[in-house]
């Protein structure tokens, strides 16, 4: 799938690390280090703007290494970027650890996965069909 991207960051356009990677790393497009105190959150710019095809979304997810080693996560994980959004991609990072964490310029802060989705049309009924699982 081709996706238009404007890269106004100081870093290369995101790419898949391996042939089987589902996500691409997003980097902090900041001029100087940003310190996140325990339980603090910050909106971190990436310098990236995208135009997704209709019927797709980009999901912004935490990086497992930052989460496991430092307690850094994406607050609204997964964050959704809709196909009609044209603003800069920014990541809401949160420090869930007991120690301050420094985000350095160009640091990999999250990963982005592009996925297809379907919109539903509700069919209101009085009862749902029974299943083995039930309630």
Q: Read off the pLDDT of residues 3-14 as tens digits, 9 standing for 90 and up.
A: 999 999 999 999
Q: What is the DSSP letter of 58?
A: E
* Cα–Cα dist 103/112, whole Å: 18
Q: Spell out where the chain has E strands.
A: 4-7, 24-27, 34-36, 41-45, 48-51, 56-61, 72-74, 79-81, 90-95, 101-103, 108-116
135 pLDDT band, cuts 50/70/90, is: confident
Is the CB of residue 51 less than 8 Å from the CB of residue 86? yes
Q: What is the pLDDT of residues 88-128, one digit of tens each?
A: 999 999 999 999 999 999 999 999 999 999 999 999 999 99
- Residue 42: HSE in the Cβ half-sphere, 13 Å Cα cutoff: 19
Q: Report phi then psi at 66, rounded to 5.
A: -65, -40
Average pLDDT over residues 55-72: 97
In Å, how far from its chain's centre is CA 104? 18
- Is the bond into 78 cis (omega within 30 degrees of 0)? yes
Average pLDDT over residues 69-80: 97
> Is 134 a residue whose pLDDT tops 90?
no
Average pLDDT over residues 64-85: 97
Task: State the pTM of this model.
Answer: 0.91
Neighbour order of strands in the sheet with 72-74: 41-45, 90-95, 72-74
CA nearest to 6, candidates 64, 78, 14, 98: 14
* Cα–Cα dist 135/131, whole Å: 9
Q: Which residue do the tokens 């996140």 mark?
A: 36
Q: What is the pLDDT of residues 15-55, one digit of tens each?
A: 999 999 999 999 999 999 999 999 999 999 999 999 999 99
């Amino acid at each position: 799938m081709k996706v238009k991207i404007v890269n106004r960051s100081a870093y290369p356009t995101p790419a898949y690390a391996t042939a089987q990677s589902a996500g691409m790393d997003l980097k902090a497009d900041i001029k100087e280090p940003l310190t996140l105190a325990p339980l603090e959150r910050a909106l971190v710019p990436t310098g990236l703007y995208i135009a997704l095809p209709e019927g797709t979304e980009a999901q912004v997810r935490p990086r497992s290494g930052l989460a496991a080693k430092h307690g850094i996560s994406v607050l609204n994980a997964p964050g959704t970027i809709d196909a009609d959004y044209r603003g800069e991609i920014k990541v809401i990072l949160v420090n869930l650890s007991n120690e301050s964490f420094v985000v350095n310029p160009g640091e990999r802060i999250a990963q982005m996965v592009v996925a297809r989705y379907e919109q539903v049309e509700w069919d209101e009924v009085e009862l749902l069909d029974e299943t083995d699982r039930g309630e």
